[in-house]
Amino acid sequence: MEREPKPLARRRQREQRITVAQDDWGLVEVGVTRTGEIVEVAINTALLGKVDPADLAEAVLQAARAAQHRATYLHPV
């Protein structure tokens, strides 16, 4: 019996090229499509309790910018 793919797996199948980047502290990882659309955000739960909300927000922004920059470099539109 074949299982139905999880939502993330389906999204990855639709968009073959996901570019991923992390913030400097390894707190957040963001995946973007080749056009820079954010499709994944993962948070390192082992570190989450040790940071305040402002640092988490900065980590998300830093990872998103890095992933978008990398996607633009790797897959120019």
**Model-level pTM?**
0.74
Residue 2's pLDDT band (boundaries 50, 70, 90)? Answer: low
Instruction: Tell which residue, 41, 42, 35, 3, has the closest CA to residue 16.
Output: 35
Structural contact between residues 47 and 41, judged by C-beta atoms closer than 8 angstroms: no
- The pLDDT tens digits of the residues spanning 18-75 come to 999 999 999 999 999 988 899 999 999 999 899 999 999 999 999 999 999 999 888 7
